[in-house]
Amino acid sequence: MIEAGRGASLEWRLLMPQLPLVVDAEVRDRVMRLAQETLSASWIEGERDGVPFAYSRPSPGHYPWQWYWDSCFHAIVWRRFDRERAERELRSLLDGGRADGFIGHTIFWDRPVDWQRRWTYNVTSRSARNTSTIQPPLLAWAWRIAVGDPAEEQRIAAHHRWLEANRDLDGDGLLWLVQPDESGLDSSSKFDAVWGRHAHARLLFPFLIAKNRRLDWDARRVLAAGGPVLCEVVTNVLWCLARIAMGEPSITPALIDRLWDERRGLFLDVARGEVAKVGQTDPVGGDHRIRVSTWSALAPLALPDLPEEIARRLVEEHLLDQRKYWLPYPPTSVSAQEPSFAPRKWKGPLRRLYWRGPTWINSAWLIWIGLLRQGYQPESLEMARKLAGAVVQQRLREFYEPYTGEGLGAREFGWSSLIAELVEPDPGAADSYLR
């Protein structure tokens, strides 16, 4: 067994043969069938305005369009079953973007946004082909894993240049968000202190959208109007991985410099502008550091160049603490010690309060990468086995109750197929997500 904390210096291709069987063959085969069946049943092809598209819908009954980071996760799993579909899914993202490199959070290929969602989606009109906001930009990383060298696709480079020009407000490589939903973490409780009643799924969220629509969702204009804007951890972790995949400089040092809280041993978001609840943040120069501990504080574990001493603190002081994140089905999306931890309170009248306690497979996968790289092999295997058991019992759900493993949220949820990465690790990952 590898000593904890020493895995960062090990080559993945040397580690792979040492891994014991993650789950028994029957469970593994069941998980792989569920992953392939779910992505296949959700697959849709067509053409809009002469542009072909093809992708797996995140959940046909609830999420029928193409979401940016969902498609990236889908492609990572599709490569196991059909590499052509993996590439087509990612090319559809590029085809749905603009010539200047912008790619929207959601692309409405086969039908426009419906009138009920018109007021809560970031679109300029009902006929818009995509939203005017972003999602965590991991396209180049997914391309590296599922397709090949992203530097060979010029539109990915243009995408990176757009993000740098429009969302890197300080020139240090870190991106800033104008709304909570741009993070993909929607109504996480860590956003309550920033946007308050204007946060996602809150009563006044449509007014935040209306305000930002008037400002063209331009981060600099939003900040000039009082903000707030947010330097968010998960977004920048995935952006860092995308940059590394493209052969661009890592922004891990900038992440540590701005978002690492040495006292608490966590990575925490930083807000700028007029935040809703100053008393729930800590001052960082002229900015505000958000106090709430959520899984995003651990997400930098996925970075290949994270210093070992920081990784060990994240794992040993927080992740493996059974009072915080290491519940029976880990990791929780909010520390169980937080007052906002509410793993079953995810649905209310006319709204869904996501990311406030349940376990999500995509976050588990990112943290699993770090566990294995840092040498916490028994813990990585334990996480894989427990989550695989929940998937076999409950199928691919949007998220899972962390005490019981009960499946919650949308059914036949595409990115939960990432469980395949945990139960059958790919030796080829040495040259993709686990370098």
| Residues 315, 285 share a domain | no
Q: Does 201 or 113 have the greater pLDDT score?
A: 201
| Residues 238, 180 share a domain | yes
Looking up tokens 């927080």, which residue turns up? Answer: 318
pLDDT band at 88 (very low <50, low <70, confident <90, very high): very high
| Residues 318, 267 share a domain | no
| Residues 407, 340 share a domain | yes
Those residues whose C-beta lies under 8 Å from the C-beta of residue 413, and which sit 6 or more positions away, are 38, 58, 59, 396, 397, 398
Q: Is 156 within a domain?
A: no
Q: How far apart are CA 220 and CA 218, in angstroms?
A: 6
- Of 292, 318, 338, the position where a domain reaches its end is 292
Structural domain for 369, as ranges: 1-41+300-435
Residue 389 buriedness (CB in 10 A; 0-12 / 13-18 / 19+): middle
Q: Is 240 within a domain?
A: yes
| Residues 274, 173 share a domain | yes
pLDDT of residue 21: 72
CATH number at residue 17: 1.50.10.10
What's at 337, amino acid-wise?
Q
Q: Is 305 within a domain?
A: yes
Summary mean pLDDT of the chain: 91
- Determine the 3-state secondary structure of 249 from DSSP: coil
- Of 292, 310, 333, the position where a domain reaches its end is 292
> Residue 135 CA to chain centroid, in angstroms?
8
The fraction of the chain above a pLDDT of 90, given in percent, is: 80
121-145 pLDDT per residue, tens? 888 887 888 999 999 999 999 999 9
> Residue 381 CA to chain centroid, in angstroms?
22
Q: How far apart are CA 280 and CA 290, in angstroms?
A: 7
pTM above 0.85, yes or no: yes
Task: Please give the tally of structural domains in the chain.
Answer: 3
Looking up tokens 């490569």, which residue turns up? Answer: 79
| Residues 189, 254 share a domain | yes
Q: Is 395 within a domain?
A: yes
234-278 pLDDT per residue, tens? 999 999 999 999 999 999 999 999 999 999 999 999 999 999 888
Q: How far apart are CA 364 and CA 344, in angstroms?
A: 18
Q: Is 46 within a domain?
A: no
- Indicate if the pLDDT at residue 435 is higher than 60: no
- Indicate if the pLDDT at residue 340 is higher than 80: yes
- Indicate if the pLDDT at residue 19 is higher than 90: no
pLDDT band at 18 (very low <50, low <70, confident <90, very high): low
30-45 pLDDT per residue, tens? 999 999 999 999 999 9
- DSSP H helices, 122-189, are 139-146, 154-167
- Indicate if the pLDDT at residue 390 is higher than 60: yes
| Residues 217, 122 share a domain | no
| Beta-ladder partners of 400 | 359, 407
Q: Is 163 within a domain?
A: no
